[in-house]
Amino acid sequence: MPTPTFQNTAGAFDAVLCDIDGCLLDEAGGPLNLDRLAVIAQHNAHAKAHHDRPLVTVCTGRPQPFAECICRAIANDLLPCVCENGAWVYDPSVNGYHLDPAITDAHLAAADQLRRWCLSTYAAQGVSSQPGKTASVSLYHRAPDFLETIKPALVEACAQHHWPFRISGTWNYINCDLDHITKATGIQQFLKQTGLDPHRLAGIGDTQSDIAIAQSVKWFGVPANRDPAIDPYATHISKLDQIDAVVEMLGML
Ligand SMILES: [Mg+2]
């Protein structure tokens, strides 16, 4: 085990793995809440200077460039972040791009084939693929209900073509992730890189893909706008929404 990248000598947690969409910002779009992100940036600056609170990083389904940008916004240039639902771990301290070693060239080729199949089948009906993903596919349509109707066909296409993907969703996207990759496997890679103790990790999330965060950490908080299906996994359910909830929970930790 490497020497832990960061230690909080004054409390129970060294790091907080925070989901992005629905937690730090609104998945549906709109301006970033820069005032609140600045509060988290100040929290992180204080953590790095005094080692008296956990450092906040992100654990997200978003592709690496977006995760890198949010890490910069919250002044996390020390701890790796988990991107693309676990496929990538990006280390901002060394600009390290780390694909999970369990993902092969064949898996990447399958992701590309699945993306092309989805677009050739559904683009005419308004489905698009989120750019920037390399080991997974995220599909968007302006009517989330439409996405629900095509899920069974996606599952069938994956079975037919032997593409090893799990089909799930957030509020506005269908996520197609490799069967053996989740936010939990991403957190395993994070732990290998950082040497942190999983019993000293906290997490924050709002949808079912974040259950994998909850199962990998000691303390798990959710904002009021969460999917109630994740309530059984929560240590704390905030009465506040999104980033207001995150700031409140950092105060508790
Ligand atoms: Mg989310």
Tokens of 8: 């909080």
Distance 73 CA to ligand 1 centre (A): 18
Angle, helices 105-122/144-161, rounded to nearest 10 degrees? 130
Give the environment of ion ligand 1: residues with CB less than 5 A: 19, 21-22, 206-207
Q: pLDDT at position 40, please? A: 98
Task: Catalogue the E-assigned strands of the chain.
Answer: 15-18, 55-58, 81-83, 88-91, 96-99, 128-129, 136-140, 165-169, 173-178, 201-204, 219-222, 236-237
CB 151 within 8 A of CB 169: yes
Distance 183 CA to ligand 1 centre (A): 12
> Average pLDDT, stretch 90-101?
96
Q: pLDDT at position 1, please? A: 60
The alpha carbon dihedral of 224, 227, 228, 229 has a sign of negative
> Average pLDDT, stretch 231-251?
97
Does residue 210 sit in helix, strand or coil?
Answer: helix
Distance 227 CA to ligand 1 centre (A): 9
Tokens of 71: 């890490």
- CA–CA separation, 130 and 116 (whole Å): 12
pLDDT at residue 3 tops 90: no
Cα–Cα nearest to 93, from 217, 202, 190, 209: 190
Q: How far is CA 5 from CA 78, 104, 194, 195, in A?
A: 8, 28, 5, 7
Question: What is the assigned CATH class of domain 15-101+181-252?
Answer: alpha beta
Distance 3 CA to ligand 1 centre (A): 31
pLDDT digits (tens, 9 = 90+) for 170-210: 778 899 999 999 999 999 999 999 999 999 999 999 999 99
pLDDT digits (tens, 9 = 90+) for 134-153: 999 999 999 989 999 999 99
Structural domain boundaries of the chain? 15-101+181-252, 105-178
Distance 1 CA to ligand 1 centre (A): 31
Q: pLDDT at position 89, please? A: 98
Tell me whether strands 219-222 and 236-237 are parallel, antiparallel or unpaired. Answer: parallel
Confidence band (pLDDT; 50, 70, 90) for 29?
A: confident
- Residues contacting 159, CB < 8 A, separation 6+: none
Q: What percent of the chain has pLDDT over 90?
A: 94
Q: pLDDT at position 27, please? A: 86
Distance 4 CA to ligand 1 centre (A): 27
Question: What predicted TM-score, i.e. pTM, was given to this entire model?
Answer: 0.95
> Average pLDDT, stretch 148-166?
96
Residue type, 116: R
* Mean pLDDT taken over the chain: 96
Distance 156 CA to ligand 1 centre (A): 26
Q: pLDDT at position 249, please? A: 97
pLDDT digits (tens, 9 = 90+) for 207-240: 999 999 999 999 999 999 999 999 999 999 999 9
